[in-house]
């Protein structure tokens, strides 16, 4: 999976990065459309990104994918159990938002020294984006509109981080994710209860 398929901007693109690109776009597009298929496609995406990020020494991002797999299974079960009426999009209350922000802060502070000790490529940014992504995934599993604000912020940070690690195709996919997240926010805002 780490073999080069082609080059982009003079840097190699591996099979893991290519498949991560394809499944990543499909996963976010399905989430925007509120389709339950977002979860199995997302789990496949996580597997490809575990391989990619481990190879790039972005260890928190790699570990995050394992957590995403667990959260993806949980979200898949939650969305499936609530059929046919489904889980409606709602706004997150202040308690949920404060708890999410506190969790992001604490997780970031815990991860930074761990990633430094592991000689991670970008411990501070890796820790922050990992923690924010976990908060965003929690809000997505609960179908809270604010998930898109967090995902947008994460994508804005990830794009230059991945370019700095020569993960050019992954950086481009996060630009697409950013556009999809803005679209997700627009669509979910119109159906928010």
Return per-residue pLDDT of the chain as tens, 193 residues: 888 888 888 888 899 999 998 999 999 999 999 899 999 999 999 999 999 889 888 887 788 899 989 999 998 988 888 765 567 889 999 999 999 999 999 999 999 999 899 888 889 998 999 899 999 999 998 889 999 999 999 999 999 998 998 888 889 989 999 999 999 999 999 988 7
Where are the strands (E) in 32-145, listed by range?
none
**HSE toward the beta carbon, residue 190, CA cutoff 13 A:** 8
Q: Which residues of 129-165 are buried (b: 16+ CB within 10 A; e: fewer)?
A: bbbbbbbbbbbbbbbbbbbbbbbbbbbeebbebbbeb
Task: Give the pTM.
Answer: 0.82
Q: Where are the domains of the chain?
A: 4-191
């Amino acid at each position: 999976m780490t073999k080069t398929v082609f080059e982009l901007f003079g840097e190699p693109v591996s099979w893991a990065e290519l498949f991560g690109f394809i499944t990543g776009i499909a996963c976010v597009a399905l989430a925007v459309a509120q389709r339950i298929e977002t979860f199995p496609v997302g789990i496949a995406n996580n597997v490809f990104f575990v391989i990619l990020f481990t190879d790039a020494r972005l260890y928190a991002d790699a570990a995050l994918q394992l957590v995403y797999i667990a959260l993806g299974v949980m979200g898949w079960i939650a969305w499936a159990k609530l059929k046919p009426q489904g889980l409606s999009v709602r706004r997150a209350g202040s308690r949920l938002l404060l708890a999410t922000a506190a969790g992001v802060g604490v997780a970031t502070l815990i991860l930074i020294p761990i990633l430094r000790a592991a000689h991670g490529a970008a411990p501070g940014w890796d820790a922050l984006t990992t923690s924010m992504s976990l908060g965003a995934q929690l809000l997505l599993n609960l179908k809270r509109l604010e998930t898109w604000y967090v995902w947008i912020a994460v994508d804005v940070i990830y794009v230059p981080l991945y370019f700095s690690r020569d993960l050019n195709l992954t950086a481009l996919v996060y630009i697409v994710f950013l556009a999809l997240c803005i679209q997700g926010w627009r669509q979910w805002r119109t159906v928010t209860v």
